[in-house]
């Protein structure tokens, strides 16, 4: 059974056309289950009905013409209950509905299972028999398993496979993801794909056919050369039979084989990478459905050849450097490093197939004020490249080929946002004090030098988090001490006389350096932050020396902050190294103060050791992005569980309150630098808890200031007391947002949608 299941899923995945995929499903299911009928009904968004989409055994003429509502017939019953319905004799069932056109009079037994993807019923898969008998448990289990496995494939085919290229470019479609960074943008899609991933290569038209042919032919020559070199280097260690494999590879690259097919597609106007992708995929899908496991494996060989050719093609692709003025970067798994490729000013929005609002890509995008949608799945990458699209970063939605009325609506939203920003400009020089006199320091999170001017312009009074790893990520090798010193100094000079909090290198998790890859099963529970630094003192020492030396003669004072601390021994070890650097630099003759040292509270263990940590350092800063992920066991980067990532969770609020109280009792500095600090609703609670510093992405600063200068400290304290008694995150969020509304700040709540 398992093998049959695997084969059907493979076969369906290999086709891009939805109707064809459904045909295969009904055909294979009917055969495997030896049933007389198999049909699929799919939900239609427009009519809100389940449409009869494919059948084997019933009247094919009715396909596409018949549909059932969620409260109609047994199919509607399956969908409504979202569970299997197994009926011995449909005639006896109260929900049975007779539809003459379908031709099911002769079939008495019915087994229908829902097709569910991401909690939504996409459709219903049905098998029927003439005899009056209940399908047995193993048949039911098989159909449920098949449907569960096919749901994702059907969702993808539904999203991508129904449209021709021309129609996809012309017809407006909505793709839902989750919010990444606020704002909306209208622009042109530029698809970014990993240069080793053939499946993500988009469709692109070419003008210069001769150049494309030339590039492809050279790539083939180079790939052949690679294979020969590889074969020679392995010649001593392999059997002749294994070496023959290399000959087989070379044959595939003969002029009459794969290259001929690719060239044919190039001559029809496709670019070389796209043509290669189509040809390789066709071959691979033919191999993947073969019974024989040896032959199936040959599909992988063809893919391997394709990836090698692609690698050579990428090297000669000048087009990669072209970005239109209104570029919207789209990728299945965009990373922070991808932003470096786009000239500043041309990037209007980002769309990533993976990740969520708490991913580092989204955080950086928010800091740069770039509207972003995250976790937008099932994007037909090969179809959308180069087309016009709208990104709604508030909702996390993407609209391809927007209509004029959609454009007009979003232009209105853009204008409202601009108006709000303009209104807020008026308070940028105001001190952040509640009407009854409570002062809070509003600092910024930075990573790029380009953040500095915007931050100061918005009235930032310091840097609460300088993410040093952003600079490391843009480099091609570890930067030297001197290179780092220069960058850090520029940052400190720009912010002088305000304090600058530099976080030591925080890599691991979803932040990797191209020149220092970390491959782990569970990266967020792995080698991250201080753990890497302590295992590589040479990197840590160079960074600390660069930070301390950068501060020489500058008025603003330096604070060094350690990320991902989970025990005091890490702090003790790091302090020894920091003191060593300071002593050396003093001995070298510099006149420098010892910087303040602080720790980020990002791990639940650190919350409950706050008092012990405070005995060792000058300040604490809560990294709520990670703290929420670790407290709630919700991967901050996983769009599937993004709805469970709740900053207002009662347990999170209690932990945050405990940290603030502990630091205030110890008379030490306490701040928060996670995204929560930039949420005006959360800011009210944080101020009431006793956080002295709120550090955030600069675009949020004036909104937070508006909230804190409008609502009184007394009201916020009463609000905190009230919400600490509540037990649901949604209830707490609603209550705090209502307080903002009652204080005339509805537009700010709307803007955080």
Q: Which residues are catalytic?
A: 360, 673
**Closest distance to Mg ion from the beta carbon of 509 (Å):** 8
Residue 433: helix, strand or coil by DSSP?
strand
- Cα dist from 224 to 210, 229, 262, 312, whole Å: 21, 9, 16, 11
Q: Which one of ligand PEP, Mg ion, none interacts with residue 467, CB within 5 to 8 A by kind?
A: ligand PEP
The Cα–Cα gap between 580 and 544 comes to: 10
- Over the window 504 to 543, marking each residue x when it contacts ligand PEP by CB under 6 A and - when it does not, the resulting string is --x-------------------------------------
Within residues 362-391, the interface with ligand PEP by CB under 6 A covers 363
The residue among 451 and 626 lying less far from ligand PEP, judged by its C-beta, is 626
Q: Compute the distance between CA of residue 117 and CA of residue 715 in angstroms, rounded to an integer.
A: 44
Please state the closest distance from residue 503 (CB atom) to ligand PEP, in A: 8
The interface partner of residue 699, options being Mg ion, ligand PEP, none and the CB cut-off 5 to 8 Å by kind, is none
**Which residue's structure tokens are 């109280």?**
661
Does residue 182 belong to the site contacting ligand PEP (CB under 6 A)?
A: no
Q: Which does 465 bind (CB under 5 to 8 A by kind): Mg ion, ligand PEP, none?
A: ligand PEP
The correct pick among 259, 447, 499, 623 for binding Mg ion (CB under 5 A) is 623
Q: Which is nearer to ligand PEP, 363 or 749 (CB)?
A: 363
Taking CB under 6 A as the binding criterion, the range among 38-46, 113-121, 617-625, 707-715 that sits at the site for ligand PEP is 617-625
625 is a site residue for ligand PEP (CB under 6 A): yes
Q: State the Cα–Cα distance between residues 552 and 588, nearest whole angstrom.
A: 12
Strand-strand pairing, 596-601 and 558-562? parallel
Among residues 442, 434, 413, the alpha carbon closest in space to that of 698 is found at: 442
HSE-up of residue 194 (Cα within 13 Å, Cβ side): 10
Residue of the chain from 104, 461, 510, 626 that contacts Mg ion (CB under 5 A)? 626
Q: Identify the CA nearest to 458 among candidates 560, 369, 329.
A: 369
Q: What are phi and psi of 107, to 5 degrees?
A: -100, 120
Query: Whole-number minimum distance, CB 567 to ligand PEP, in Å?
Result: 18
Alpha helices, DSSP H only, in 666-728? 680-689, 701-710, 713-723
Would you count residue 602 as binding ligand PEP (CB under 6 A)? yes
Residue 180 and residue 362 in contact, taking contact as beta carbons nearer than 8 Å? yes
Q: Does the CA dihedral 130-133-137-140 come out positive or negative?
A: positive
Shortest distance (Å) from residue 473 CB to ligand PEP: 12
Q: Are 151 and 372 in contact (CB under 8 A)?
A: no
Q: Residues with Cβ < 8 Å from 176, sequence gap 6 or more?
A: 376, 395, 396, 397
Q: Which residues inside 459-478 make contact with ligand PEP, applying CB under 6 A?
A: 465, 467
Could you tell me the CA-to-CA distances from 654 to 642, 664, 727, 730 in Å, in that order? 21, 15, 11, 16
Strand duo 109-117 + 120-129: pairing: antiparallel
Structure tokens at 406: 């959609």
With CB under 5 A as the contact rule, which of the stretches 217-225, 440-448, 538-546, 598-606 interacts with Mg ion? 598-606
- Does 161 contact ligand PEP by CB under 6 A? no
CB of 696 to Mg ion, least distance (A): 14
* Residue 102 vs 631, nearer CB to ligand PEP: 631
Residues 626, 635, 647, 737: which binds ligand PEP (CB under 6 A)? 626
User: In the window 670-729, what residues touch ligand PEP (CB under 6 A)?
Assistant: 673-674
Q: Based on CB atoms, which residue is closest to ligand PEP, 135 or 488?
A: 488
- Give the one residue of 13, 501, 624, 639 binding ligand PEP; rule: CB under 6 A: 624
Give the chain's length: 753
Q: Which stretch binds ligand PEP (CB under 6 A): 264-272, 604-612, 624-632, 648-656?
A: 624-632
- Report the nearest approach of ligand PEP to the CB of residue 363 (Å): 6
Q: Which residues contact 579 (CB under 8 A, 6 or more apart)?
A: none
Query: What distance in Å separates the CA atoms of residue 530 and residue 62, rounded to the nearest whole number?
Result: 64
Please tell me whether the peptide bond between 497 and the residue prior to it is cis, using omega within 30 degrees of 0. Answer: yes
Smallest gap from Cβ 460 to Mg ion, in A, equals 20
Residue 511 Cβ vs ligand PEP, minimum distance, rounded to whole Å: 8
Q: Which residues of the chain form contacts with ligand PEP (CB under 6 A)? A: 363, 465, 467, 506, 602, 623-626, 673-674
Q: Which residues of the chain form contacts with Mg ion (CB under 5 A)? A: 602, 623, 626
């Amino acid at each position: 059974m398992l093998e049959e299941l695997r084969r059907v899923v493979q076969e369906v995945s290999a086709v891009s056309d939805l109707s064809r995929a459904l045909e295969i499903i009904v055909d294979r299911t009917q055969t495997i289950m030896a049933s007389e009928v198999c049909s699929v009904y799919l939900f239609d968004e427009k009519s809100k009905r389940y449409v009869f989409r494919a059948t084997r055994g019933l009247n094919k003429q009715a396909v596409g013409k018949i549909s059932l509502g969620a409260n109609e017939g047994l199919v509607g019953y399956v969908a409504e209950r979202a569970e299997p319905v197994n009926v011995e004799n449909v005639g006896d069932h109260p929900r049975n509905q007779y539809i003459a056109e379908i031709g099911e009079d002769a079939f008495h037994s019915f087994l229908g299972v829902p097709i569910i993807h991401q909690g939504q019923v996409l459709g219903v898969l049905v098998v029927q028999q003439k005899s009056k008998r209940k399908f047995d448990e193993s048949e039911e289990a098989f159909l449920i398993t098949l449907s569960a496995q096919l749901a994702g494939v059907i969702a993808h085919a539904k999203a991508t496979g129904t449209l021709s290229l021309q129609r996809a470019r012309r017809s407006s479609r909505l793709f839902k993801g989750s919010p990444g960074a606020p704002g909306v943008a209208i622009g042109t899609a530029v698809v970014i794909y990993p240069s080793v991933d053939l499946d993500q290569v988009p469709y692109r038209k070419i003008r210069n056919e001769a150049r494309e042919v030339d590039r492809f032919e050279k790539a083939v020559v180079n790939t052949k050369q690679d294979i020969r070199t590889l074969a020679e280097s392995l010649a001593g260690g392999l059997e002749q039979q294994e070496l023959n494999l290399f000959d087989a590879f070379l044959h595939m690259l003969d002029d009459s084989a794969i290259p001929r097919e690719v060239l044919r597609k190039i001559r029809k106007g496709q670019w070389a990478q796209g043509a290669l992708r189509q040809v390789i995929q066709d071959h691979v899908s033919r191999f993947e459905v073969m019974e024989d496991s040896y032959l199936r494996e040959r599909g992988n060989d063809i893919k391997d050849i394709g990836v090698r050719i692609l690698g050579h093609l990428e090297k000669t692709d000048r087009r990669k450097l072209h970005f239109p003025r209104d570029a919207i970067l789209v990728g299945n798994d965009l990373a922070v490093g991808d932003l470096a490729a786009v000239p500043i000013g041309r990037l209007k929005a980002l769309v990533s197939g993976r990740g969520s609002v708490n991913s580092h890509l989204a955080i950086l995008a928010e800091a740069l004020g770039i509207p972003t949608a995250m976790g937008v799945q099932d994007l037909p990458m090969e179809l959308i490249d180069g087309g016009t699209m709208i990104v709604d970063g508030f909702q996390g939605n993407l609209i391809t080929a927007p209509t004029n009325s959609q454009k007009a609506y979003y232009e209105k939203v853009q204008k409202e946002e601009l108006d709000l920003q303009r209104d807020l400009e008026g308070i940028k020089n105001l001190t952040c004090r509640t009407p009854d006199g409570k002062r809070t320091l509003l600092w910024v999170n930075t990573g790029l030098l380009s953040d500095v001017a915007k931050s100061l312009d918005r009235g930032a009074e310091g840097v609460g988090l300088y993410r040093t790893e952003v600079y490391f990520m843009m480099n091609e090798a570890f930067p030297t001490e001197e290179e780092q010193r220069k960058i850090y100094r520029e940052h400190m000079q720009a912010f002088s006389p305000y304090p600058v909090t530099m976080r030591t290198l925080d890599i691991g998790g979803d932040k990797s350096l191209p020149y220092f890859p970390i491959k782990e099963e569970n990266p967020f529970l792995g080698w991250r932050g201080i753990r890497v630094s302590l295992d590589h003192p040479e990197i840590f020492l160079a960074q600390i020396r660069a930070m301390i030396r950068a501060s020489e003669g500058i008025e603003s004072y330096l604070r060094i902050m350690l990320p991902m601390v989970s025990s005091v021994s890490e702090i003790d070890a790091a302090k020894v190294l920091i003191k060593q650097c300071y002593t050396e630099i003093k001995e070298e003759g510099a006149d420098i103060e010892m910087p303040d040292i602080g720790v980020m509270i990002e791990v639940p263990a650190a919350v409950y050791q706050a008092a012990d940590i405070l005995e060792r350092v000058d300040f604490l800063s809560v990294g709520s992005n990670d703290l929420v992920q670790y407290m709630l066991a919700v991967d901050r980067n996983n769009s599937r569980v993004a709805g469970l990532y709740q900053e207002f969770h009662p347990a999170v609020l209690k932990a945050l309150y405990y940290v603030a109280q502990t630091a205030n009792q110890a008379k030490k500095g306490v701040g928060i630098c996670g995204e929560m600090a930039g949420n005006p609703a959360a800011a009210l609670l944080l101020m009431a808890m006793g956080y002295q510093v709120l550090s955030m992405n600069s675009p949020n600063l004036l909104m937070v200031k508006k909230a804190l200068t409008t609502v009184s400290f007394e009201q916020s304290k009463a609000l905190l007391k009230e919400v600490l008694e509540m037990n649901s995150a949604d209830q707490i969020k609603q209550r705090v947002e209502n307080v903002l509304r009652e204080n005339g700040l509805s537009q700010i709540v709307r803007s955080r949608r």
